[in-house]
């Protein structure tokens, strides 16, 4: 087999474990042999539509088996897969399709209105259901070819595999390129850090267009021969149902997802005995939330990474999950991580600095954006994360905050993540977000947005009193808003720029 990339995975898995279940979605069960057969058939259809090595194939829609089939089919041909955020509006989708130069778009019915609102679409558009004028019906398209043909296109680990668009909170999204090698090395790093088993039952509950759901759950599980239970979208009750129904052993989520599970009335009585490992990323996890899970006897591990690092950069080993709760762990096995001052010298233990990452999991750069690529790297190929962290004397990383989220009040640095973590200790607080806002006296002060727990009554004065004695006074927010929800990106992260705008209003 000349395909050394992900396009060869379905064939290799079908040889090893053809009858084992690869994917479960609702009532649908798909074996590895079926994944190989359907992926090969789809690759043949894409090739007949003109797709060749290096071309881009986009997917728009909630989590679905077709997402994985389209990804692998594109990679069979040496094409580049472009997963798009299905929560975006038509102009945002249009920008990404144009920027990537996608030749094909596969979309779900939930996104039909957005697709039909596009002025220009790729040459080939395939709909999972209810195709519009000029569109192909996904299942009919696959069935037209009859028997799947053998395709073996040479692909190397250095060839691009994915273009993942960043959330765009600071401007136009950039397309981070990840190679097949980036993805393979990320899987190796995860398999070193997590005792992933061939009988793993992985709940894929975060959106697959997000780097963590795809590269930290679905791909490593597929590589190992485990079973991925795919949720179309996040739903707390459905999550509990699927854990019980399938005996889920492993799950990744962002802080907001785990907070929602713990807030549920089902939390206290739910049978979670099958779960071996819970893994969180995307934002610092408040230690109080980690303890909530550990008190249920669950192994809760936090990792740190970025889209550009495929994503794992550091990971907290399960054996250290209690002793180092709240830490993002140590560098993954096949990568290097530094914490540096502005002059790029290494910080002392406990001293905040920017996180730099180097390794085979790190992006070669941004799609058609050499200026952004140059700006993202320091000398020696070190990727500049823009995140602030400290390293303790044991070498464990503690994420402080995004550099752009830090604000200065009265000459002192304030890291919102630290304040949010202490607010999460309040028994009436389910979730909190803090931003800096202008102040005539202090330059900037904190503005907190707080979601209360069900049935709890919280006030600004009460929260301020709770923080007194727990934080230095300059860190305590001047303003408190009690809210029902917080604005989020497609991956579940809180949109801090939107909160700053709301605070300004």
CB atoms within 10 A of CB 427: 9
Q: Return the pLDDT at 204.
A: 98
The predicted model scores a pTM of 0.85
CB atoms within 10 A of CB 371: 8
Report domain extents, the chain. Answer: 6-155, 181-402, 407-504
Could you tell me how many residues make up the chain? 505
CATH fold of 6-155 reads: Rossmann fold (3.40.50)
Counting other chains too, the contacts that 120-124 makes at CB distance below 8 Å and 24 or more residues apart are 120/94, 121/97, 122/58, 122/97, 123/49, 123/50, 124/49, 124/50
Residue 202: which H helix or E strand, with range? strand 201-204
Q: How far apart are CA 497 and CA 504, in angstroms?
A: 11
Residue 176: which H helix or E strand, with range? strand 175-179
Q: Return the pLDDT at 64.
A: 98
Q: Return the pLDDT at 169.
A: 42
Query: What b-and-e string marks burial along 31-67, b requiring 16 or more CB atoms within 10 Å of the CB?
Result: bbbbbbbbbbbbbbbbbebebeeebbbbbbbbbbbbb
Q: Return the pLDDT at 171.
A: 55
Q: Does domain 407-504 have CATH number 3.40.50.1220?
A: no
What's the pLDDT tens digit per position in 191-226? Answer: 999 999 999 999 999 999 989 999 999 999 999 999
The answer, yes or no, to whether the previous bond of 311 is cis (omega within 30 of 0) is: yes
Q: Give SS3 for 98.
A: helix
The answer to whether 60 touches 106, Cβ cutoff 8 Å, is yes
Same fold for the pair 6-155 and 181-402: yes
The CATH code of domain 181-402 reads 3.40.50.12780
Longest distance between any two alpha carbons in the chain, whole Å: 74
Write the CB contacts of 35 (distance below 8 Å, at least 6 apart in sequence).
10, 13, 14, 22, 23, 68, 69, 72
Q: How far apart are CA 201 and CA 204, in angstroms?
A: 10
Q: How far apart are CA 410 and CA 445, in angstroms?
A: 9
Q: How far apart are CA 5 and CA 158, in angstroms?
A: 9
Please identify every stretch of the chain with a pLDDT value under 50, giving residue numbers as ranges.
168-170
Q: How far apart are CA 16 and CA 308, in angstroms?
A: 32
Q: Which two tokens stand for residue 398?
A: 């503690």
Q: Return the pLDDT at 504.
A: 81
């Amino acid at each position: 087999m000349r395909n050394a990339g992900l396009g060869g995975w379905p064939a290799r898995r079908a040889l090893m474990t053809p009858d084992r279940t690869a994917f479960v979605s609702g009532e649908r069960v798909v074996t590895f042999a079926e994944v190989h057969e359907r992926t090969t058939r789809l690759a043949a259809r894409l090739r007949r539509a003109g797709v060749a090595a290096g071309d881009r194939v986009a997917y728009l829609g909630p989590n679905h088996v077709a997402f994985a089939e389209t990804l692998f089919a594109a990679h069979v041909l040496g094409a580049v897969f472009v997963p798009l955020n299905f929560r975006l509006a038509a102009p945002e989708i249009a920008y990404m399709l144009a920027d990537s130069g996608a030749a094909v778009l596969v979309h779900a019915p939930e996104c039909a209105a957005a697709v039909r609102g596009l002025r220009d679409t790729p040459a080939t558009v395939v709909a999972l259901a209810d195709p519009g004028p000029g569109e192909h019906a996904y299942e009919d398209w696959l069935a037209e070819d009859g028997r799947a043909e053998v395709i073996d296109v040479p692909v190397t680990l250095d060839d691009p595999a994915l273009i993942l668009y960043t959330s765009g909170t600071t401007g136009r999204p950039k397309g981070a390129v990840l190679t097949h090698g980036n993805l393979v090395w990320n899987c190796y790093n995860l398999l070193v850090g997590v005792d992933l088993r061939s009988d793993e039952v992985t709940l894929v509950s975060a959106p697959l267009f997000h780097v963590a759901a795809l590269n930290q759950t679905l791909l490593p599980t597929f590589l190992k021969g485990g079973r991925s239970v795919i949720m179309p979208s996040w739903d707390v009750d459905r999550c509990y149902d699927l854990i019980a129904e399938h005996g889920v052993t492993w799950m990744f989520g962002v802080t907001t997802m785990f907070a929602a599970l713990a807030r549920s009335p089902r939390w206290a009585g739910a049978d979670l005995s099958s779960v071996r490992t819970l893994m969180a990323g995307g934002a610092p996890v408040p230690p109080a939330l980690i303890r909530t899970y550990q008190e249920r006897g669950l192994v809760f591990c936090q990792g740190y990474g970025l889209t550009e690092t495929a994503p794992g950069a550091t990971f907290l080993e399960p054996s250290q999950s209690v002793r180092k709760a709240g830490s993002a762990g140590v560098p993954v096995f096949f990568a290097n991580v530094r914490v540096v001052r502005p002059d790029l010298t290494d910080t002392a233990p406990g001293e905040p600095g920017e996180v730099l990452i180097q390794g085979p999991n790190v992006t070669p750069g941004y799609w058609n954006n050499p200026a952004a690529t140059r700006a993202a790297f320091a000398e020696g190929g070190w990727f500049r994360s823009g995140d602030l962290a400290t390293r303790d004397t044991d070498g464990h990383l503690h994420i402080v905050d995004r550099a752009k989220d830090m604000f200065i009040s009265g000459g002192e640095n304030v890291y919102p993540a630290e304040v949010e973590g202490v607010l999460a200790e309040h028994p009436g607080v389910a979730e909190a977000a803090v931003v800096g806002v202008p102040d005539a006296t202090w330059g900037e002060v904190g503005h907190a947005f707080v979601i209360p727990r069900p049935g709890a009554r919280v006030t600004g004065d009460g929260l301020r009193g709770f923080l007194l004695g727990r934080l230095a006074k300059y860190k305590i927010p001047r303003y408190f808003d009690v809210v029902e929800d917080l604005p989020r990106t497609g991956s579940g992260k809180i949109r801090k720029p939107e909160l700053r705008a709301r605070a300004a209003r």
